[in-house]
Amino acid sequence: MSSSLTQVAPLVASPRRALSGVAAALGAVLIWSCYFLSLRQGALSPLGTLDLTLFRYAVPGLVLLPLALRRRQRLLAVNPVWLVGMMAGAGIPFFLLGAVGMGLAPVAHGSTLIPGAAPLFVSTLAVWVFAQPLSRGRAAGLVAIAMGIACLLASSGQGSQSLLLGQGMFLLSSVMWAVFTLSVRQSGLSALEATAVVTVPSGSIIALTVVGLEVSGVGGLTLHLVSAQEWLGQLVVQGILVGLGSGLLMGIAIRRLGAEATSALGSLTPVVATALAWWALDETIGGITAVGMLMVVFGVMIASRGR
């Protein structure tokens, strides 16, 4: 492979373009922080996982269906391995692991382990599968990430099996996100095209599942158990902000700042998400958790700049 899978050369940008890139990256950080918060709120409310999954994929899938149809030849020209990697890595299995995990562990753990551990798994897969070189700087960052993960796992303590199970689900989600990341990079698709590859089939699957359950009389949707304000809020966050906005903003940030700088700014997600969880859900974190979270954030920043 001639193209690097773990590093993208930074772009030379004017101050105005750089500023807009920073704004886009910080906007994506805020969206992803709200995503983890909404998952936790959904897990603690009567609103079911089926409803959240429907919001997450059916809404953006419907919006991006015309794009997928117009560019179907380009999408189908991608190696099927990368298409499957994208659909599996960021599709329904990825979402369900995160959603169920959020019912077992706090926002600080999910927002740290899922995006924070991803660079560790991305680099591991890149070295193992694609024989990519690993620089000392990147290796140092990955060691810091691994140490931070160890701190978070240690914070579960003895006898807290549910928290440990939630952390395990977050780590599996992170592995899947790493597969998605590498698949997108290998595919050469744009952010919106990659989002369409994930959301159109996933949205179709979950929509058909819901229709089948309703027709058979089994049911499954729980919208009637919560207020319209609550489920509309989840629809906006999951379907519009995360499903459409995050991919668009990250694409803008990467084009204007480069992958390294965007990744470094993205490492702020655990901090912002934890602050939002403290404000909205009264969640607090212990000392070991705080140390682990900060080590992961620091490791991501170092790894994204590693040469």
- pLDDT score at 107: 92
- pLDDT score at 291: 92
* pLDDT reading at 71 higher than 90: yes
The tokens 């084009």 sit on which residue?
255
Q: Which tokens in the block code for residue 300?
A: 């991501």
Would you say 53 and 92 are in contact if contact means Cβ atoms under 8 Å apart? yes
**Where residue 9 falls among pLDDT bands split at 50, 70, 90?**
very low
Mean pLDDT for the stretch of residues 230-248: 89
The tokens 């329904």 sit on which residue?
92
Q: How far apart are the first and last CA of the chain?
A: 19
**Where residue 13 falls among pLDDT bands split at 50, 70, 90?**
low
Per residue in 266-290, pLDDT (tens digit) is 788 898 999 999 998 888 888 888 9
- Torsion angle of C-alpha atoms 175, 180, 183, 189, degrees rounded to 10: -160
Residue 188 to residue 3: CA distance in whole angstroms: 11
**Highest mean pLDDT, choosing among 15-19, 118-122, 238-242, 265-269:** 238-242
Per residue in 38-60, pLDDT (tens digit) is 989 888 888 888 999 999 999 99
- pLDDT score at 53: 93
* pLDDT reading at 11 higher than 70: no
Q: Any idea what the Cα angle at residue 155 is, between residues 149 and 160, rounded to 5°?
A: 120
Residue 213 to residue 216: CA distance in whole angstroms: 5
Residue type, 164: L
* Chain centre distance of CA 224: 28
Q: Which tokens in the block code for residue 141?
A: 């960052």
